[in-house]
Amino acid sequence: MLIRLLQLTAGATLLFVGFVQSFWGNDPYLGWAISLVASAYLTLTGRHLIAALSISERNQRVASVIVFLLIGWVALGVGQLPEKTAMMLEAFPYTQITGI
């Protein structure tokens, strides 16, 4: 139960990161990709995919942590999440895509 709660929290965090990346900044496609990964992370699609690959429960958890850390690293480094979050807080009702 606690593991599932942690997965839901991590998935919701990734969805927020994807939302911010999609509508503020210069790369909405990165945000869409993060949102798709977060959706698979949250739904049973990811579980069915992992079950089809016959990965053990321990390796599933390790893979989940690795995916979460990788997306966090991409969002913070490549996606410049702190700058985009500040941009979002300044002009929230309106999007601000600086280039496509």
Look at the pTM and tell me if it is higher than 0.75.
Answer: no
Per-residue model confidence as pLDDT tens for the chain (100 residues): 787 788 788 888 888 888 887 877 677 888 888 888 888 777 766 667 767 777 777 887 788 788 888 888 887 776 677 777 777 778 777 766 665 5
43 assigned to some structural domain: yes
Query: With contact defined as beta carbons under 8 Å apart, do 12 and 84 qualify?
Result: no
C-alpha angle 24-29-31 in degrees, rounded to nearest 5: 55
Whether residue 5 lies inside any domain: the answer is no
Distance (Å, whole) CA 7 – CA 5: 5
Which domain, by its residues, includes 75?
20-93
- Determine the pLDDT at residue 57: 76
DSSP, collapsed to helix, strand or coil, labels residue 80 as coil
Helices 57-77, 2-23: axis angle to 10 degrees equals 30
Q: How many domains would you assign to the chain?
A: 1
pLDDT at residue 24 in the model = 75
The confidence score (pLDDT) of residue 75 equals 77
